[in-house]
Structure 1
Amino acid sequence: MQDDIDTKALAYVQRREGRCLAKVNTNSNTYIWACKKGHQWEVLYKNMKQNYRWCNICPNVPERTCRYIFEDLLNKKFLLQKPKFLESLHLDGYNEELGLAFEYSGNQHYQIVPFFHPQGQINLDAQIWRNWKKRALCYREEVILITIPYCTVDLETFIKIALHAFGYLPIPT
């Protein structure tokens, strides 16, 4: 099996601590991939490499957890959205009725991560600028944006405190 897999594809998957399970057919470069947590998917190697893609499930777990917490606490939907006022940027969760949004910021928002920042500091600076722009545009539109850093240990407590601070939840007695 290993001999059939393009060596570049193998190097790519090994850098991400995953596995290439199989080539879908001999006429394409479509492979079945598995991340280190066992999630599996099928995609062309070049599409994954060009778009810096890896597992579509793993990076979204904390974001989805945040979404569930917001939705449970406020009994409202918080969908991934690209509102027009954000000029092509997106929000991880947004409820227009409440004027409330959240962003889960992975470590790539704070430090150089080669997978996200192939050009190093230049890419990190661009990420920081996009974060600042998003916050400024939300402020201009009177949308409260709660940013949850990747180092947050207790997501529910962090979100509850933020919601209390902005008046979305009553202060517990």
Structure 2
Amino acid sequence: MKKISLNTACEIAIKRGGLCLSTEYINGKSHLRWKCVKGHEWEATLSNIKYQNTWCPYCAGQAKNTLDIAKMIAINKGGECISNEYINGSSHLRWKCAKGHEWSATLQNVKNKGSWCAMCVGQNRTIEYIQHLARKQNGNCLSNSYKDAHSKLIWNCSKGHVWKATFASIKYHGSWCPYCSNKYLRENLCREIITNILDHHHLKIADPIFLNPSNTRGQQHEKYTKFFHRGDPDNFIKQQERDQLKKELCEENWIVLRYV
């Protein structure tokens, strides 16, 4: 009976210029996968296709932004929409790709902009591509390897500034050199004043990120601050570790560290 029913589904699909992609038939209420002549894929019961004479909802203009459509789009991309509720096209749904990565995105982004798993996209990036991206900014990526979009890399701008930032922040958030953008204006101003007063020569240290002889001490160095530490107490611990490392490196290199 199952074989005959599946054969029936395949015959109906072929007559309509499409295909039945399912390999198993359970009963008249179970959903099968269908594909029309234009390549659209969707799920529907054999009863609906055979007795109600329905076919491709996309070609018929009946496809609406519903949870069912979200699940169909995800299946077409080899993944899943794992949300159980749909509000509107601007509300976030949970998605899962073929590799098991999960993330949140609106149906509008997935359907109309063709976006999908950002982690899989990041895995396709190479260090050569990232270095090419840096050169477009008249700078360089000094790192030799790439892990993922959220791991920090070392960058160098056209003025010689060196800093650390993630690929995601450079590529998707449009950030670049924090020194040129005056993000560290207060710290740079203090360093310039101290340099002029003490006639201090610039240091030639392997990692200038840690070894600046002057250090502006904001409150984030002394206590956990939600804004500076992005709501994560672990970032305060990391801040203290960086401060301690900077202090030790300065002592090893006979550098007087000035706190401002």
Structure 2 length as normaliser, TM-score?
0.29
Determine which structure has greater relative contact order: mean sequence separation of CA pairs < 8 Å that are 6+ residues apart, divided by chain length.
1
Greater percentage in strand: 1
Structure 1 length as normaliser, TM-score?
0.41
